[in-house]
Amino acid sequence: MIKMKNISETLLGLVSNYSPSGQEKPAVQFLLQRMQALGFERTFQDKVGNAVGIIGQGPHQLMLLGHIDTVPGEIPIRIENGVLYARGSVDAKGPLAAFVDAVAAVGVRLGWQMIVIGAVGEETDSRGARYIVDQYRPDMVIIGEPSAWERITLGYKGCAHVKITARRSSHHSASGQQTACEAAAQIWQDVQAWTGEYNEKYNRRFEQAQTSLLKWSSGTNGFENRATLEIEARLPLALNPVDWFLVMKELAGTEEVQTMGFPIQAYRSEKNSPLVRSFLKAIRGAGGKPDFVVKTGTADMNIVAPVWQCPAVAYGPGDSSLDHTPQEHLSLEEYENAVTVLKKMLKNITD
């Protein structure tokens, strides 16, 4: 592993083990070894590949759920002017490493079991979170996602995907008949128009629907032409995936509509909870000015929080606008500030 001064060994080790979704094993093995070295009382890899570390025991359970996978695209690791450049430094190995370092520093707290999980597959199908949701029932959960060290994330939009396929019999281009590509183009225009009309009622992006055309493909077998659209929606609290699917079917008319992946409902947690109050106190205690944020993306919070029905927030160092970008980087000072906040918060909440 690369040796660098003034950087958390946990953070450096995680980003040094490149782990795009589906290739998390080396990073998981490192994290388990690192948690053992830091004094976690129990560490193991669960049935779906998540890295799990546990400190303490008792009637109360605090879950710190991060994810260990990243999007593809390895970034050469370097530190310049106190900034770490590496894939996953922000999304979301930075927050996961901060969880591990903070829990290890705080140690055993009477009556509390603290569980840190580096979940697999968050960037694809959230298989890690989907597995643990039936394995635990924590009193509180913190999701490891970048928020900047002074901010607490309260919610994320939902998401849904559809594939719409238009088919037309082959004909001469001079016939004037509508082609499959023209039919698909009209559907996409209708989706955009519907989205714009829906959003006129709302001013905040978190309350609006966002639709993206992820893929357009076409082809022919000589007798039939086809054009396929793959559309993603980021959905607000007021619009659940089932209702959005019905809108897509209506706009597609007689064309084929298929749902893709796992539809996810938007989620927003309450501000007035012991967990939030502990974070506010900790951020102020570290010299920060706390603030709240809601995100237009989707996270494992959407999977676990509605089932666990417990206080939930997302927190972690990093600028989320750098997620998935070639410029992904993390200020080491911000990382240390986040660890300080987490240590104070853990002591506050477990006193």
Please state, in angstroms and rounded to a whole number, the distance separating the CA atoms of residues 30 and 33: 5
Which residue in 24, 69, 255, 334 is the catalytic one? 69
- Please confirm, yes or no, whether 351 is among the known catalytic residues: no
- Helix, strand, coil % (nearest 5) of the chain? 35, 30, 35
How many H-runs (helices) and E-runs (strands) does the chain carry? Answer: 9, 16
Please state, in angstroms and rounded to a whole number, the distance separating the CA atoms of residues 156 and 265: 9
Position 231, amino acid: I
Q: Which residues contact 11 (CB under 8 A, 6 or more apart)?
A: 84, 89, 93, 94, 97, 98, 101, 335
Task: Report yes or no: 54 and 104 within 8 Å, Cβ to Cβ.
Answer: no
Position 112, amino acid: W
- Please confirm, yes or no, whether 256 is among the known catalytic residues: no
Rg (CA), the chain: 23
Task: Report yes or no: 48 and 73 within 8 Å, Cβ to Cβ.
Answer: no
Q: Which residues contact 59 (CB under 8 A, 6 or more apart)?
A: 111
Which residue in 24, 101, 122, 255 is the catalytic one? 122
The two tokens of residue 324 are: 């998935």
Please state, in angstroms and rounded to a whole number, the distance separating the CA atoms of residues 305 and 285: 27
Q: Pick from 34, 46, 32, 40: which is nearest to 10 by CA?
A: 34
Q: Which helix (H) or strand (E) holds 343?
A: helix 332-350
Residues belonging to the active site: 69, 122
